[in-house]
């Protein structure tokens, strides 16, 4: 007989407001212990110095993590001009200084260069793997880390508060954007050096500060046996994916890993009414009476299960 999994079956998302000084893995561990959950993961790393939205998936929600990671994110941050640090944040050692302090007009003038699709080299102290080893482990060992530039997407970048030394910014960006690299590159463009002094993630797609919860509040709910109040539905991060209503028989087929074929006119009309671009190919959330059944790929009349959700 197979060994039974430890912990409880818990399905859903926790929109955690991560405090400073706590790594993402540590935060996930704390949530796992509070729920005694069998399976837990997160939808996007936050550095220990950063605060704000850390989406934590429990149970079947872990199957939707890739969709969470693809969401647009919002960050507020403070840049510190005049010092460069080896980590590109406040934790690192000073490796260069500059007396140059850009003016408000100079900062405003360069912001358009950092919007749209931009090329960015990740920080040496990052979780990117090089030949199976994390870049930050190599950097801590004193090795010369060289990371390739990558294209990332910045929707908007604005300065919300000017200061000669510590201006504040708000950025809306896509997956894989390093704010530490953004500050480093902005400083270089302005003819100075800089690092990120503080960072807060304001939102990850539909997960915002309005529904965020602190570890302290989670502990209070745990103490009063009300933890389920903090759980958001598995489909929370799938809000921008069209939903396809199924019959009981169709749901059973998908749960068994079998594809569906929609040929009849009423079925094609169902796809159209759901807003599914079945001609070009689309992803949809298949539901039975409002309960998610599976994430599916719709290719013409063929509907293939990608991730079956056991809810």
Catalytic sites, residue numbers: 47
Nearest alpha-carbon partner for 61 in 44, 79, 43:
43
Count of CB atoms situated within 10 Å of the CB of 249? 8
Return d(Cα 83, Cα 122) in angstroms, integer.
Answer: 18
Return d(Cα 124, Cα 80) in angstroms, integer.
Answer: 19
119's CB contacts (< 8 A; 6+ apart) are 149, 150, 151
Q: In the structure encoding, which two tokens stand for residue 107, read together?
A: 């900062």
Return d(Cα 227, Cα 62) in angstroms, integer.
Answer: 18
Taking a C-beta distance cutoff of 8 angstroms, is the pair 259, 303 a contact?
A: yes
Return d(Cα 27, Cα 113) in angstroms, integer.
Answer: 35
Return d(Cα 213, Cα 52) in angstroms, integer.
Answer: 10
Taking a C-beta distance cutoff of 8 angstroms, is the pair 44, 75 a contact?
A: no
């Amino acid at each position: 007989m197979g060994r039974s999994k430890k912990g409880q079956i818990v399905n859903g998302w926790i929109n955690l407001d991560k405090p400073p000084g706590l790594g993402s893995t540590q935060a996930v561990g704390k949530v796992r212990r509070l729920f005694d959950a069998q399976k837990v993961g997160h939808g996007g790393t936050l550095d220990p110095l950063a605060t704000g939205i850390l989406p934590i998936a429990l149970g079947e929600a872990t199957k939707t993590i890739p969709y969470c990671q693809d969401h647009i994110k919002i960050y507020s941050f403070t840049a510190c001009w005049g010092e460069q640090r080896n980590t590109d944040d406040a934790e690192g050692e000073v490796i260069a200084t500059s007396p140059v302090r850009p003016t408000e007009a100079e900062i405003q003038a360069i912001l358009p260069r950092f919007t749209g699709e931009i090329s960015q080299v990740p920080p040496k102290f990052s979780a990117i793997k090089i030949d199976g080893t994390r870049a930050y482990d190599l950097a801590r060992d004193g090795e010369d880390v060289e990371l390739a530039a990558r294209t990332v997407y910045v929707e908007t970048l604005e300065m919300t508060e000017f200061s000669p030394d510590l201006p504040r910014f708000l950025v809306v960006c896509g997956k894989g954007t390093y704010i530490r690299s953004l500050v480093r590159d902005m400083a270089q463009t302005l003819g100075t050096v800089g690092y990120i002094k503080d960072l807060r993630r304001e939102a990850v797609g539909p997960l915002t500060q309005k529904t965020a919860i602190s570890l302290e509040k989670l502990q209070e709910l745990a103490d009063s046996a009300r933890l389920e109040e903090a759980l958001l539905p598995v489909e929370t991060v799938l809000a921008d994916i069209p939903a396809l209503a199924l019959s009981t028989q169709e749901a059973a087929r998908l749960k068994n890993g079998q594809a569906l074929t929609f040929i009849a006119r009423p079925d094609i009309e169902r796809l159209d009414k759901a807003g599914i671009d079945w001609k070009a190919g689309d992803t949809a959330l298949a539901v039975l009476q409002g309960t998610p059944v599976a994430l599916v790929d719709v290719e013409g009349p063929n509907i293939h299960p990608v991730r079956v959700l056991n809810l």
